[in-house]
Amino acid sequence: MTRRKRYSTEFKREAIRRCKEPGVTAVLVAEELGISTRQLRRWQEAVEKHGDKAFPGEGSARDEEVMRLKRKLAKVEQERDFLKEAVAYFAKEST
Protein backbone atom coordinates (compact mmCIF):
# COMPACT_ATOMS: atom_id res chain seq x y z
CA MET A 1 0.00 0.00 0.00
CA THR A 2 1.43 3.37 -0.97
CA ARG A 3 1.42 6.27 1.41
CA ARG A 4 -0.03 9.57 0.39
CA LYS A 5 2.66 12.14 -0.22
CA ARG A 6 2.44 15.30 1.85
CA TYR A 7 3.67 18.63 0.62
CA SER A 8 4.74 21.60 2.71
CA THR A 9 2.84 24.86 2.70
CA GLU A 10 5.83 26.55 1.09
CA PHE A 11 5.87 23.98 -1.72
CA LYS A 12 2.14 24.49 -2.40
CA ARG A 13 2.37 28.27 -2.36
CA GLU A 14 5.40 28.23 -4.68
CA ALA A 15 3.56 25.95 -7.11
CA ILE A 16 0.57 28.30 -7.13
CA ARG A 17 2.83 31.33 -7.59
CA ARG A 18 4.49 29.65 -10.58
CA CYS A 19 1.07 29.11 -12.18
CA LYS A 20 0.44 32.85 -12.09
CA GLU A 21 3.56 33.71 -14.07
CA PRO A 22 2.94 34.87 -17.65
CA GLY A 23 3.15 32.10 -20.23
CA VAL A 24 3.13 29.33 -17.63
CA THR A 25 0.23 26.90 -17.41
CA ALA A 26 -0.94 24.71 -14.54
CA VAL A 27 -0.21 21.65 -16.67
CA LEU A 28 3.40 22.73 -17.19
CA VAL A 29 3.94 23.45 -13.48
CA ALA A 30 2.35 20.14 -12.48
CA GLU A 31 4.62 18.23 -14.86
CA GLU A 32 7.71 20.07 -13.58
CA LEU A 33 6.83 19.29 -9.96
CA GLY A 34 5.65 15.73 -10.56
CA ILE A 35 2.12 16.29 -9.27
CA SER A 36 -1.27 15.96 -10.90
CA THR A 37 -2.96 18.98 -12.42
CA ARG A 38 -6.04 18.17 -10.34
CA GLN A 39 -3.99 18.41 -7.14
CA LEU A 40 -2.58 21.75 -8.23
CA ARG A 41 -6.06 23.06 -9.00
CA ARG A 42 -7.28 21.93 -5.56
CA TRP A 43 -4.48 23.95 -3.98
CA GLN A 44 -5.43 26.98 -6.09
CA GLU A 45 -9.07 26.64 -5.06
CA ALA A 46 -8.07 26.41 -1.39
CA VAL A 47 -6.05 29.63 -1.64
CA GLU A 48 -8.91 31.40 -3.45
CA LYS A 49 -11.38 30.26 -0.81
CA HIS A 50 -9.30 30.65 2.36
CA GLY A 51 -6.53 33.08 1.39
CA ASP A 52 -3.56 33.09 3.77
CA LYS A 53 -5.28 30.58 6.05
CA ALA A 54 -5.14 27.83 3.41
CA PHE A 55 -3.01 24.78 4.30
CA PRO A 56 -2.83 25.17 8.09
CA GLY A 57 -0.53 22.78 9.89
CA GLU A 58 0.39 20.71 6.88
CA GLY A 59 3.98 19.53 7.03
CA SER A 60 7.10 21.58 6.66
CA ALA A 61 10.22 21.46 4.57
CA ARG A 62 12.00 19.85 7.51
CA ASP A 63 9.34 17.12 7.81
CA GLU A 64 9.76 16.31 4.13
CA GLU A 65 13.52 16.08 4.55
CA VAL A 66 13.15 13.74 7.55
CA MET A 67 10.77 11.48 5.60
CA ARG A 68 13.12 11.42 2.60
CA LEU A 69 16.05 10.48 4.82
CA LYS A 70 14.05 7.75 6.56
CA ARG A 71 13.16 6.22 3.19
CA LYS A 72 16.79 6.40 2.11
CA LEU A 73 17.95 4.79 5.37
CA ALA A 74 15.44 1.95 4.96
CA LYS A 75 16.70 1.32 1.41
CA VAL A 76 20.35 1.31 2.51
CA GLU A 77 19.55 -1.08 5.38
CA GLN A 78 17.77 -3.39 2.95
CA GLU A 79 20.79 -3.36 0.62
CA ARG A 80 23.13 -4.02 3.56
CA ASP A 81 21.05 -7.00 4.70
CA PHE A 82 21.07 -8.40 1.16
CA LEU A 83 24.85 -8.10 0.97
CA LYS A 84 25.24 -9.84 4.35
CA GLU A 85 23.17 -12.76 3.07
CA ALA A 86 25.18 -12.89 -0.16
CA VAL A 87 28.48 -12.95 1.74
CA ALA A 88 27.20 -15.75 3.98
CA TYR A 89 25.99 -17.73 0.94
CA PHE A 90 29.28 -17.43 -0.95
CA ALA A 91 31.30 -18.19 2.17
CA LYS A 92 29.31 -21.39 2.61
CA GLU A 93 29.83 -22.30 -1.07
CA SER A 94 33.61 -21.90 -0.92
CA THR A 95 34.10 -24.28 2.03
**Domain positions in the chain:** 1-59, 62-95
pTM higher than 0.75 = no
pLDDT tens column, 9-54: 888 989 999 999 999 899 999 999 999 999 999 999 998 888 877 7
On average, the pLDDT of the chain sits at 86
DSSP state of 4: P
Residues 6 or more apart whose CB falls under 8 angstroms from that of 75 comprise none
Coil, strand or helix at 88: helix
Taking 60 as the threshold, does the pLDDT of residue 58 lie above it? no
Contact 16, 44 (CB under 8 A): yes
Taking 70 as the threshold, does the pLDDT of residue 61 lie above it? no
CA atoms within 13 A on the CB side of 32: 13
Q: Which pLDDT score is estimated for 6?
A: 82
Taking 90 as the threshold, does the pLDDT of residue 80 lie above it? yes
Residue 95 CB neighbours (<10 A): 4
Q: What is the CATH number of domain 1-59?
A: 1.10.10
